Structure 1
Amino acid sequence: MTPPGISRGVLVTRPEPGLSETLAAVSAAGWVPYASPALCITPHSLRALPSRFAACVLTSGQAVQAAQAALPSTCPVYAVGDRTAQRAQLAGFVGVQSAQGDAEALAALIIRTGTPASGPLLLLSGARQGMELASRLRQAGFRVVRRVAYTARPARQIAPDVLCALQVGEISHTLFFSSESAASWMAALPDASRGAVCRTTAIVISQAAAAVLEKAGWTHIIVARKPNAQAMLAALGVCTVDRA
């Protein structure tokens, strides 16, 4: 339920791919979405790879493009969540399993259903990401080849229309999809707008993201029940503000 008198604006800090679909979902729920990506994504071309992998491991939908360019569609895919799995399927991969969660859930799925003797795993992640997952899988006996599929750089500034909407109180909620994006977006935010944004309700994908915002002075934070976009949108709910 949306309290009476609350603004309808929702700030979405997710980069593409994912930003457009989230904006559409927020709008369909009756809110007014504002796009403000916290990260700028640069895809990477993969250097020479061994000829065969038992499976590809995707920690993000951002890595699907690199997988599509480097692997046959018949290569089995382990995806961190349902949206990443769907993107892999749309890219042509025919054997896709979703961990429906985070990196911990992804490791558990691979260990439960995979066999180290089947061959090496190709782990595709962002720069400076995926190391803990690779280590966990190696401890379980898997051979892991990790490659950087993209680089995520912090946004340098916040768009003027977003800052204006914050200052006049048009935004009531802010969505953060990772601790990295939360830290990056806050770093780009001018000090003059910090008070206004910290008065919005933050909906975050994890406790790690919540911790970043707590240090920044946020007063109302909701952690999604599951670490995925669907759970975050469920926490946002349907806007019942009078649109008149």
Structure 2
Amino acid sequence: MRIVTIAAGILFTLFGVFCIANAGLSFMSMAFPIGIILIIVGIFECISYRKSLDNNEEKHWLLTEGLTTFILGVVVLTGQLAADIAVPVVFGMWVMISGIRGFVVLTQLKVDRANIVRDFDFYWDLVISALNIVIGLYTFFNNLLYPLSVLAILGICFAIQGATVIKFGYDMTYVKPDILKTKEEKLEEAETAAEEAHKEVRRAIRKARHAKKAAKEAENSKDFNELVNDIVDEDMKENV
């Protein structure tokens, strides 16, 4: 499934380059292959979301994006996008939502001990998300800025989304069936699981200590009424 997902992303990217190279064609002449590729990529994203990432919430984002891509492909195939004016806006919203999703993932999921881990994955997601939002916004002002043809805009959208799908495929983890695992592999997995369990226990202990410390500070602190009474008493003493 990992290889298939990467292949789907490459196909998406190559088709985007093809659309840019043939920007002079009309959208209706390319509607059928566009719809087919959107449906194929959407299906692969929906199928592969279970094996893509360890974080369950990020998996759900991938499933949402796969369903959105699939539905967009069905809309294109059924001929509901016939006006050239509406096509860039619809696809712009598609990539812009993907970019917003990427920023949400960055702010909520790529955090380790309250510090964002700035590795290759972080910068990749940051650049791709920013490009998606910029291209999505550009589609709304295409005629006011540097006007591009409909297929040129779609080609850029497909190329960027293809890079996103390739990254999804790269991040997918291959789970070997238990029946094919050797004794050494099973022992290694058990040791890894035990180490992760110890880390979780240590995190839980730290959280419990912080909670106890906060409870003691709250217990020893004065509430609002006590502070007001103290201030009033001091004022009365000064006036006397």
Identify whether the pair has TM-score above 0.5, normalized to the shorter chain: no
Compare the two structures and name the one with the higher helix fraction.
2
TM class, shorter-length: under 0.3
The structure with more radius of gyration? 2
Could you state the TM-score of these two structures normalised by the residue count of structure 1? 0.23
